[in-house]
A and B are shown apart, each in its own frame.
Chain A
């Protein structure tokens, strides 16, 4: 596909003997929001986490096939995993700020990747501006990040990913632990961020998928059933399974 930023080719993933992803082929378009939907346990989070190699930590996970960022093979031994994770940021289900101050939460990534010391303060301000958090926290950057509200913490986690200027941001149900107002702020933020970043978001919330995504991929039992524009998946699904799922008949 032209414009593809992140892609999977013939990807199988096993946890021990159990196959969790079955022959996944997908291309995520550049600077668009793609939503991964499907019932619990369908493998959407597993697929998401295989792109920034978060499965490296589980001893029994085995990945087959090819996962690519542009034309870089993400599982090629000569590519450093820390560099891959800088280029592919991630936001998790529950906000997980580091037990440090708001400022340090953002400076941490910059420091380990050796960004020039004198640019750090400016980069942090930019990232907080971009994440609509600057006005709320500019006077209390020294405060522990855990004192922020849940929604603010999640925006801080987005800022923490954004500050490293990644190319892709993976989001694993970023709103599932948040109230409706915080959720709408984050959705607004996601729509703004797609100008600069390729975003892949796992969500259980079908209204959310319709509100924010350009493309939608529906997964079921480890397989990619259907992939198309938001409109195509929700209004004119081709597959019976997709139709049933987006119609709310199972899930």
Chain B
């Protein structure tokens, strides 16, 4: 009897906390969508901001964010995947590889504003890339690396050794084995990790603050050495830095909706890849 009662309490606590979390998520989404939806229109995503940003759209910010994420991908994915392949397939367990792994884990714990400062020192000033979408993309790339390395390594670890033995026993080199069997088989896992990491990076503000994001530029960023507008920074600016905060509030909410939808779309792609992978097995 007593046992049954404590079971019930446990169940209520667990269900209760799950509901609580979902409720908060629901409230946030409802709040943002209900306030942002009225300002959302085709013009909003295809026009430049006008009249001191109290009217018009967010096209440059969207283009900026997409371009930024693209540069981040170009930099972080090849390096991150190569690093994971080295750690999981080539490196023999040793003090050195343990140090490398520990460093990568620690990198993941560094606050993103520190990455911003580091990017400012290295890319903007040190390498003279200036405040540009290139500097910001590289900075976000650094931020993404530890996550990409870790998720890729996990994906590689899930490939059973019998797969490696199969091609090695046929006389394939280790490189051929990785290229022809291991990477293709790990690809869905790697892609999922990459996309989730990028969707996080796309919403970051702190690392791009000093490295290239602009309050307003007139025109779309078309070259990597230009400054750019980005959705998260645009949102921050509209909500706290604008002279007529009340007037632009609906635009801020609409920007948030666009950002959430973009991130949600990326996550959906990751979800579809994972689903296809699971049904294949």
Please give the residue numbers on chain A whose beta carbons come within 8 Å of chain B beta carbons, in ascending order. 52, 54, 57, 59, 82-86, 89-90, 92, 94, 96-99, 108-109, 112-113, 157, 160-161, 164
What are 20 pairs between A and B in contact, CB < 8 Å? A52-B169, A54-B169, A59-B92, A85-B169, A85-B170, A89-B169, A89-B170, A90-B165, A90-B169, A94-B162, A96-B165, A97-B166, A98-B166, A99-B185, A108-B167, A109-B170, A109-B172, A112-B171, A112-B176, A164-B171
Are A109 and B162 touching (Cβ within 8 A)? no
Q: Is B246 located at the chain interface by the 8 A CB criterion?
A: no
Main secondary structure of the interface of B (DSSP, over half): helix
Contacts of B168 in A (CB 8 A): 54, 57, 85
Are B93 and A86 touching (Cβ within 8 A)? no
Q: Is B173 located at the chain interface by the 8 A CB criterion?
A: yes
Number of interface residues of B (CB under 8 A): 20
Contacts of B184 in A (CB 8 A): 99
Are B165 and A160 touching (Cβ within 8 A)? no
A-B contact count (CB 8 A): 60
Contacts of B173 in A (CB 8 A): 82
* Distance to closest chain B CB from A114 (angstroms): 11
* Distance to closest chain A CB from B66 (angstroms): 33
Whole-angstrom distance between the alpha carbons of A54 and B171 in the complex? 11
Contacts of A109 in B (CB 8 A): 170-172
Are B162 and A160 touching (Cβ within 8 A)? no
Contact residues of B between 115 and 173, Cβ < 8 Å to A: 160, 162-173
If A59-B93, A108-B167 touch, whether A96 touches B172 (CB-CB below 8 Å) is no
Are B171 and A108 touching (Cβ within 8 A)? no
Of the candidates A94, A96, A160, the one having the most CB atoms from chain B within 10 angstroms of its own CB is: A96
Which of A96, A113, A157 makes the CB contact (< 8 A) with B171? A113
Whole-angstrom distance between the alpha carbons of A108 and B93 in the complex? 30
If A59-B93, A92-B162, A92-B165 touch, whether A108 touches B170 (CB-CB below 8 Å) is yes
Which of A97, A112, A157 makes the CB contact (< 8 A) with B172? A112
Contacts of B180 in A (CB 8 A): 108
Q: Is B206 located at the chain interface by the 8 A CB criterion?
A: no
Q: Is B260 located at the chain interface by the 8 A CB criterion?
A: no
Contacts of B248 in A (CB 8 A): none
* Distance to closest chain B CB from A110 (angstroms): 9
Which of B160, B164, B170, B176 makes the CB contact (< 8 A) with A86? B170
Q: Is B245 located at the chain interface by the 8 A CB criterion?
A: no
Are A99 and B181 touching (Cβ within 8 A)? yes
